Amino acid sequence: MSLPRKSQPTQLPKGAKIYLPDEAARKRAVEERLFDVFRRWGYREVVTSAYEYFDVLAHGTDHDLQERMFKMVDRESGRLLTLRADVTPQIARIVATRMREEPKPLRLHYVTSVFRYDEPHVGRYREFYQAGVELIGLPNPEGDAEMIAMTVEGLRALGLGRFQIDVGQADFFRGILEGVEGDEVRIEVDLDQLGRQVVGLPIRLVGEARLVLTDELIREALRRAKKAAREADSDRAAAVDAAD
């Protein structure tokens, strides 16, 4: 007499997600399009570890995000480990240690998973993917210009025609408002003209404070970025020759 087979549990942990073949193919296509944009701007890929010591990753991470990290204890050392919740602190440490002698500016990019103990909801999971770039050593406002221009180019490479970019930089708005008179000022980005804003390059103000975005601005930002990337490659090659 054969015993009934026990059913295998199939339920995923809360906040987890599996990408079936069609979804995985679409996800990969998105990543490849972003990689192509990042490479054109002279950015090199960096791959970070999925977990590190908590006290290391806590540096540069705000308290709220620290509370939402997945944590576990290292059986060997007894130290607290955590899954990465953000990539920027990892890259900042890598640049300050492993890449501190490299010529600046440094242009690095990544597409990887991060983990946050948030309450899952539609379209949001506890493991999700981040695509990002880090520009180190290029002073403002040229660095801001490059970041925003490349962001827009990346979104358009994904086929997005309407989108909004939030700039969390007070100096960006302060610089615009310096030339605007009046107590009430409305800042409106015109995305109908290709949605490309470049900070630090000539910006035309129409009316009270309407930003007009032009291809000329993004072409100039791209030209500057490519020139800086070539110079950085030349400096790296010279450093290697000197070491040999």
Tens digit of pLDDT for each residue in 148-161? 888 889 988 998 88
In terms of domains, do 119 and 217 share one? Answer: no
The pLDDT-based confidence of 215 (bands split at 50, 70, 90) is low
- pLDDT tens, position by position, 177-199: 554 444 444 444 333 332 333 33
Q: Which domain holds residue 126?
A: 14-137
Q: Give me the mean pLDDT over the 117-127 stretch.
A: 83
Q: Is the pLDDT of residue 118 over 80?
A: yes
The pLDDT-based confidence of 65 (bands split at 50, 70, 90) is very high
- Residues ≥6 apart with Cβ < 8 Å to 86: 61, 65, 114, 130
User: Which pLDDT score, from 0 to 100, does residue 169 have?
Assistant: 56
Residue 182 lies in a domain: yes
- pLDDT tens, position by position, 41-63: 999 999 999 999 999 999 878 89
Q: What is the CATH number of the domain that holds 62?
A: 3.30.930.10
User: Which pLDDT score, from 0 to 100, does residue 56 have?
Assistant: 92
Mean of pLDDT over the chain: 76
When divided into structural domains, the chain yields a total of 2
- Compute how many other C-beta atoms are within 10 angstroms of the C-beta atom of residue 205: 13
In terms of domains, do 20 and 133 share one? Answer: yes
Q: Is the pLDDT of residue 104 over 50?
A: yes
Query: Who has greater pLDDT, 167 or 181?
Result: 167
Residue 30 lies in a domain: yes
In terms of domains, do 42 and 113 share one? Answer: yes
In terms of domains, do 118 and 225 share one? Answer: no
Q: How far apart are CA 101 and CA 47, in angstroms?
A: 19
Q: Give me the mean pLDDT over the 26-37 stretch.
A: 93
Torsion sign across C-alpha atoms 190, 88, 143, 36: negative
Provide the whole-model pTM: 0.68
99-108, 121-130, 218-227: segment of lowest average pLDDT: 218-227
The strand pairing partners of 71, in sequence order, are: 82
Residue 112 lies in a domain: yes
- Compute how many other C-beta atoms are within 10 angstroms of the C-beta atom of residue 160: 11
Residue 207 lies in a domain: yes
137, 155, 189 — which closes off a domain?
137
- pLDDT tens, position by position, 67-100: 999 999 999 999 999 999 999 999 999 999 999 9
The pLDDT-based confidence of 204 (bands split at 50, 70, 90) is very low
